[in-house]
Amino acid sequence: MDVVAEIQAEPKLETDELWFKDAVIYQLHVKAFADSNSDGIGDFAGLTEKLDYLEDLGITALWLLPFYPSPGRDDGYDISDYRTINADFGTMADFRRFMQEARRRKLRVLTELVINHTSDQHPWFLRARRSKPGSDARNWYVWSDTDQAYAGTRIIFNDTEKSNWAWDPVAGAYYWHRFFSHQPDLNYDNPRVLAAMIQIMRRWVDLGVDGFRLDAIPYLCEREGTNNENLSETHAVIKNIRAALDSHSRGKLLLAEANQWPEDVSAYFADGDECHMAYHFPLMPRIYMAIAQEDRFPITDILRQTPDIPTNCQWALFLR
């Protein structure tokens, strides 16, 4: 039976496109949640067995941390293949069964999609480093003959990384990375990169996924003379992603992971045509601060600093 037809044969979820407004989302790591075959690694078969338990908790959606093939140097956020699942977590048949059983319980499923960078073991990078400078294959990533470009950009992991550039002896050039040096940044000035990422998203939507947590989106584009965060070019990329996703399947969620202040993060809602949700990172520690101080001020103070957002958008409020 066709995979999409098989999933659609299951009970359909409510068609409300604003379902995320009051969603109760449970985050989990497949590899650490339930092990069905006693190999010491959680898997989709084990997760499927636990769906009744999760449903009984009263949740309405599951957010799965990265489950794609990966060298595992950054807990799965270094993706080497966006199209399938890590073999340690089972097979695509296991994933399809999980999606079917989640649908039976009317649970929505969100996945991680790391769109800023890949693993240096991804076929795109392995091809790019061996391709001629200036070629299309090479330009899937950001390269330079020196490590002095974009000097105004902060180093995020300054305890382990000394530069945002890393030398690649195979390419004979430096490549750009905002996170670890084994995670080269994709080049969204190359339209083929955006087209490929949109195609990947469509694939997972066709497999039943209800939305994507877009990891590290403030850093998608680079321009000399800026700090390379929250650029207008980055917002243009996200608008294109949103439009493509809406045209393919309405009601699918884009959740922005932008660990910055509300006035900066709110731009990722735009006019309601970029991300549907974004994390309110400063609120979370202030909840604990308010409890410790027995004073609501830490919460009310940050909420006063939080700008209004479009009515079809929602802040993601979380505890950890």
CA distance 81 to 285: 34
Residue 43 falls in the annotated catalytic set: no
Three-state DSSP class for residue 260: coil
> Residue 16 carries which DSSP code?
-
Q: Of 112, 215, 222, 274, which one is the catalytic site residue? A: 215
Residue 206 falls in the annotated catalytic set: no
The amino acid present at 289, given as its one-letter code, is M
CA distance 187 to 116: 9
User: Comparing C-alpha atoms, which of 231, 28, 193 is closest to residue 117?
Assistant: 193
Asked if 120 and 26 touch (Cβ cutoff 8 Å), the reply is no
Three-state DSSP class for residue 314: strand
Asked if 80 and 122 touch (Cβ cutoff 8 Å), the reply is yes
Q: Of 257, 263, 264, 273, which one is the catalytic site residue? A: 257
Phi/psi at 212 (5° precision): -135, 135
Enzyme catalytic residues: 215, 257
